Amino acid sequence: MDRTDVSLIALRRILRATELYGRRLAKEAGMTAVQFRVMQIIAETGHATPTAIANRMGVTQATMTSLIDKLVAKDMVERKRSEKDRRQTNVTITPLGLTTIDEAPDPLQQRYVKKFEAMQDWEQAMIVAALERVAAMLDADEIDASPVLDIGDIGKAH
């Protein structure tokens, strides 16, 4: 087998692992990986502003509003006016949201992060350079994406 085929197989395995995880999360937790990541960010402190979450995830405010709307509809999070500044809205996690996070399958990106951060600096730099090069080869280097391993449109409900 030549290197081109080996590289395409590796890419396909990555895409397939992401797809399978997304299906498992949808089945077991009833949400997408991106929605799950929003909940994790909120759960870190119990509340966060939509702007802070959007900035952290690298998505637009409109995308974040859509994601939060879907989580509110599922009773995973709530919007509450800030006590400090009544013009500001905080998003808080509900008891159901906390239970869902606790019972959800281990997030794929957390497994990746743990293993990536255990690597030497030079290995990390090599992987980042290779992945950026692959993104450029696929004309995907300008696509808006958050640091969440998920397939499809970030604002789309699966």
> Minimal CA–CA distance to 47: which of 99, 88, 105, 87?
88
Q: Which CATH number belongs to the domain containing residue 24 in this structure?
A: 1.10.10.10
E strands within 41-144?
47-48, 77-81, 89-93
Task: Provide the residue range defining the domain that includes 104.
Answer: 3-137
pLDDT tens-place string over residues 50-88: 999 999 888 888 889 999 999 999 999 999 887 777 778
Q: What's the structural domain count of the chain?
A: 1
Read off the pTM: 0.71
How do strand 47-48 and strand 89-93 relate by DSSP bridges? antiparallel
1 DSSP 8-state letter: -
Q: Is position 80 within any domain? A: yes
Q: How many of the other CB atoms lie within 10 Å of CB of 4?
A: 8
Q: Is position 158 within any domain? A: no
Q: Is position 149 within any domain? A: no
Percent of the chain clearing pLDDT 70 (strictly above) = 89
Q: For residue 50, what are its two tokens?
A: 């939509």
pLDDT tens-place string over residues 89-126: 899 999 999 999 888 877 777 788 889 999 999 999 99
